[in-house]
Structure 1
Amino acid sequence: MPISITIRSVPDDVRDELAARAARSGRSLQEYLVHELTRLAGKRPIDDVLDGIRRRAEHFPPIDREVVLDIIAGGRE
């Protein structure tokens, strides 16, 4: 069941920008904010993404920079 959220002390310029974006998208400010909050909640935080990359990278052997540069140079020849 949906609940209500109150956000206090939103600066006027922020409210005006959000209202303008809502109008451009053809939504009310309420609809626009629910849409944006839903979209935001569906995204993985960047720290979680980076942690996952680091965990997967642990399973690969380290790569020597010079070896990579030699392979690139060889491919260019």
Structure 2
Amino acid sequence: MPNIQIKDVPEATHAVLRQRAAAAHQSLQEYLLSRLVREAAQPTVDEVLDRAAGRAGGSLPLAGAVNALRAERARR
């Protein structure tokens, strides 16, 4: 499994992370690994938009969809 090393972490940041790891009953390494795994599992907005753009489907442009939604809401 690959390793990651982070150098020059500010002391205050290191202290906060150690406290959070202790509060979670984890070593600092376990705590940071769980945070990194969670971060990598959550797609960014750009990744979500890229995936959505690549899907086949409707041909209505965004502006048309917004207008249709507004019109439907106005009818209620």
Q: Normalising by structure 2, report the TM-score.
A: 0.70
Q: Does 2:58 match 1:74?
A: no
Q: Give RMSD over aligned pairs.
A: 2.4
Q: Where in structure 1 do 4 or more consecutive aligned residues deviate above 6 Å?
A: none
| Structure 2 unaligned regions, length at least 5 | none
Q: Normalising by structure 1, report the TM-score.
A: 0.69
Report the secondary structure of 2:54's partner residue: helix
1:32 aligned partner, one-letter code = Y
Q: CA deviation at 1:50?
A: 1.5
Instruction: Give percent identity, aligned residues only.
Output: 34
| Structure 1 unaligned regions, length at least 5 | none
1:7 aligned partner, one-letter code = I
Partners of 1:70 and 1:37 in 2: how far apart? Answer: 43
Residue correspondences, number: 73
